[in-house]
C-alpha cells in the first residue's frame, strides 16, 4: 500500500478495469479525489452530473460517477463507510484565509493537487469540485445549512473504485482541520488489477 | 425588458457595478445562470467555493458568489423568491436521455449555453455547474435524496444581482420538464445601471 503523507497529495494513472483501494489508515481522515480522462483531460469528474443522475448527494456503491460529458468514469465497488462529500471544492489558501482566518495559510488540498497534476498538463483552473472520500458534510434540508462533521471512517475503513475509462487520478490526505476532526493523518492507496476486466 | 424564449439561451457582458434583474415572467420557470471573468474566461462561477464559504446550499441575498479562484463575482441585491439551486449541471441531451429516456433528446440548457457562449470563446467543457435561478431542489438531510420540485416563483418574481467584476453572463429559459413544473415559459432580464457603483 502506498501512503499519502498528512497534508500532501499525489497523482497517477488508473487504467480502465483497474481497481483503486483508498484506505483511511488511522481513521477520521479525508482524501480529496478527482480524475480526468487520460486521453483528453478536458473531460473531468463532474459532481453536478453525478448527483443529478444518482438523485442523491450521498454517493456510494451502485452510483456511477460521471464526467462533465456524461460518460461514466468509475464505479464504487466496495465502501465500508458510505458517507462522503461531493459538494465542496478542495481546501486552499483562500479557504484557510476566508473560513479559518489564517494569516499565513497552508496551500491546502488544492495546492497539493495543483502540484501533483501539473506534470500531467492539468492547470489549477481545471481542478473541479472533488469527490471528498470519507468527508462527512451534513445538510439541513429545511435551511440548507451545511456542517462539516468528523468523518465516520475508522482505522482501516476503505473504498474500492473501478475505472470505467483510462484515468488520471489526483488525490490527497486532506489539509483542513474541520474535515479531519482536527488531526492530520495519512491516506493509503493501492492499485488492484481487476481479473474480470476486459 | 429582454425576453429569453422558452427552451433557449443567451449571453452578454455585465460590467462591474451593473445590476442584472432576472424575472420569472409567468411563474414556475427556471433560468440556468453562469458567468466568467470577462478578462480571463478560465475564471468561472464556482458552486463549490460559494457553498463552502456561505455554509449553505440555498444561496440568496447576503451570500457572495465566488469564482473558482475565490474572488467575488457578484452579489444578490434583491430576491423575491429565496429558493434557487446550485447543485446541478444544466440539462443536456444526455440528461434527457438518462433521466427522461428521450430517444431524440432536446439539447437542453447546456446546448443553449454552448451556442450562446461560443462567440465569447467559451467551449462546452468550460461550462460549470450553473446557479439555477428559481429552481427548487429539495435535499433530504438523512438520506441525501434530491427531489426536483416546482419552482416557488410566481408571475413577476425576480432577483437582482450586482456584478463585482466585469463578467460574461450566460443564461437560459430552462428546457427540463421537471424543473419548470412541466410547462416551458420565457425568462425576462434587464441590465440596470447602478448609480452607486464606482
Chain B nearest-CA distance from A69, in A, is 8
Residue B138, domain member (yes or no): yes
In this complex, do B53 and A141 lie within 8 Å of one another by their Cβ atoms?
Answer: no
Q: Which residues of A touch B128 (CB under 8 A)?
A: 48, 128
Q: Does A140 touch chain B (CB under 8 A)?
A: yes
Q: Does B137 touch chain A (CB under 8 A)?
A: no
- The distance from CA A13 to its chain's CA centroid, rounded to whole angstroms, is 15
pLDDT at A196 over 60: no
Predicted confidence at residue A194, as pLDDT, reads 58
- Residue written as grid cell 460529458: A69
Instruction: Report the residue from A51, A141, A147 with minimal CB separation from B88.
Output: A51
What are the grid coordinates assigned to A189, written together?
492507496
CA-nearest residue to B59 within chain A is: A144
In this complex, do B57 and A98 lie within 8 Å of one another by their Cβ atoms?
Answer: no
Task: Judge whether A171 and A10 are in contact, CB under 8 Å.
Answer: yes
Question: Residue B89's closest CA among B57, B47, B35, B119?
Answer: B47
Mean per-residue pLDDT, B111-136: 98
Is the ipTM, as predicted for this complex, more than 0.85?
yes
Predicted confidence at residue B197, as pLDDT, reads 46
CA-nearest residue to B58 within chain A is: A144
Residue B197, domain member (yes or no): no
Q: What is the pLDDT of residues B132-174, one digit of tens each?
A: 999 999 999 999 999 999 999 999 999 999 999 999 999 999 9
Query: What are the φ and ψ backbone dihedral angles of B197, each rounded to 5 degrees?
Result: -70, 155
Residue A197, domain member (yes or no): no
The number of CA neighbours under 13 Å toward the Cβ of B97 is 11
CA-nearest residue to B126 within chain A is: A42
In this complex, do B70 and A140 lie within 8 Å of one another by their Cβ atoms?
Answer: no
Task: Look up residue B98 and give its DSSP letter.
Answer: H
Confidence class for position B198, pLDDT limits 50, 70, 90: very low
CA A27/CA A4 separation, integer angstroms:
14
Q: Which residues of B touch A49 (CB under 8 A)?
A: 89, 94
In this complex, do A145 and B89 lie within 8 Å of one another by their Cβ atoms?
Answer: no
For testing the chain A interface, which of B39, B71, B110, B141 should be mutated: the one with the most A CBs within 10 Å? B141
In this complex, do B57 and A138 lie within 8 Å of one another by their Cβ atoms?
Answer: no
CA A6/CA A176 separation, integer angstroms:
10
Q: Which residues of A touch B79 (CB under 8 A)?
A: none
SS3 at position B170: strand
Q: Based on the number of CB atoms within 10 Å of its own CB, is A198 exposed (0-12), middle (13-18) or buried (19 or more)?
A: exposed
Question: Residue B90's closest CA among B32, B28, B169?
Answer: B32
CA A166/CA A35 separation, integer angstroms:
10
In this complex, do A53 and B129 lie within 8 Å of one another by their Cβ atoms?
Answer: no
CA A133/CA A141 separation, integer angstroms:
22
Give the count of beta carbons closer than 10 Å to the beta carbon of residue B198.
5
CA B91/CA B76 separation, integer angstroms:
24
pLDDT at A65 over 60: yes
Mean pLDDT (chain B, rounded): 95
Q: Does A154 touch chain B (CB under 8 A)?
A: no
Mean per-residue pLDDT, A152-167: 98
Percent of chain B with pLDDT over 70: 97
Q: How far is CA A185 from CA A19, A23, A142, B81, in A?
A: 23, 11, 34, 43
Residue B198, domain member (yes or no): no
Confidence class for position B193, pLDDT limits 50, 70, 90: confident
In this complex, do B52 and A94 lie within 8 Å of one another by their Cβ atoms?
Answer: no
CA A23/CA B89 separation, integer angstroms:
30
Q: Does B58 touch chain A (CB under 8 A)?
A: yes
Task: Look up residue B128 and give its DSSP letter.
Answer: -
In this complex, do B125 and A68 lie within 8 Å of one another by their Cβ atoms?
Answer: yes
Mean per-residue pLDDT, A46-57: 97
Q: Residue B83 belongs to what domain range?
A: 2-192
CA distance from start to end of chain B: 25
Residue B59, domain member (yes or no): yes
Tally of domains in chain A: 1
Q: How far is CA B196 from CA B102, B192, B193, in A?
A: 48, 12, 9
Per-residue burial over A70-80, b = 16 or more CB atoms within 10 Å of its CB, e = otherwise: beebbbbbebe
Question: Which residues 21-50 of A are in CB contact (within 8 Å) with B?
Answer: 42-44, 46-49
Bridge partners (DSSP) of residue A169 are: A12, A35
For testing the chain B interface, which of A57, A93, A128 should be mutated: the one with the most B CBs within 10 Å? A57
Residue B25, domain member (yes or no): yes
The DSSP bridge pattern shows strands B136-139 and B146-149 to be antiparallel
CA A17/CA A3 separation, integer angstroms:
22
Chain A nearest-CA distance from B28, in A, is 20
Q: Does B149 touch chain A (CB under 8 A)?
A: no
Q: What is the pLDDT of residues B38-75, one digit of tens each?
A: 999 999 999 999 999 999 999 999 999 999 999 999 99
Q: Does A138 touch chain B (CB under 8 A)?
A: yes
Task: Judge whether A65 and A131 are in contact, CB under 8 Å.
Answer: yes
CA A42/CA A19 separation, integer angstroms:
23
Amino acid at each position: 500500500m502506498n501512503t499519502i503523507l498528512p497534508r500532501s497529495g499525489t497523482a497517477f494513472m488508473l487504467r480502465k478495469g483497474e481497481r483503486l483501494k483508498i484506505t483511511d489508515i488511522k481513521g477520521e481522515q479525508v482524501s480529496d479525489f478527482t480524475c480526468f480522462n487520460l486521453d483528453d483531460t478536458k473531460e473531468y469528474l463532474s459532481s453536478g452530473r453525478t448527483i443529478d443522475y444518482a438523485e442523491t448527494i450521498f454517493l456510494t456503491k451502485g452510483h456511477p460517477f460521471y464526467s462533465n460529458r456524461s460518460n461514466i468514469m468509475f464505479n464504487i465497488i466496495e465502501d465500508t463507510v458510505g458517507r462522503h462529500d461531493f459538494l465542496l471544492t478542495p481546501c486552499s489558501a483562500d479557504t484557510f484565509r476566508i473560513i479559518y482566518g489564517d494569516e499565513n495559510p497552508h496551500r491546502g488540498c488544492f495546492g497539493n493537487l495543483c502540484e501533483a497534476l501539473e506534470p500531467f498538463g492539468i492547470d489549477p483552473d481545471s481542478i473541479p469540485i472533488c469527490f471528498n472520500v470519507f468527508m462527512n458534510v451534513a445538510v439541513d434540508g429545511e435551511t440548507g445549512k451545511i456542517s462539516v462533521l468528523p468523518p465516520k471512517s475508522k482505522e482501516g475503513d476503505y473504498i474500492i473504485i473501478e475505472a470505467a475509462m483510462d484515468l488520471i487520478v489526483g488525490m490527497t490526505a486532506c489539509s483542513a482541520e474541520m474535515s479531519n476532526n482536527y488531526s492530520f493523518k495519512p491516506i493509503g492507496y493501492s492499485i488492484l488489477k481487476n481479473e474480470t476486466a476486459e
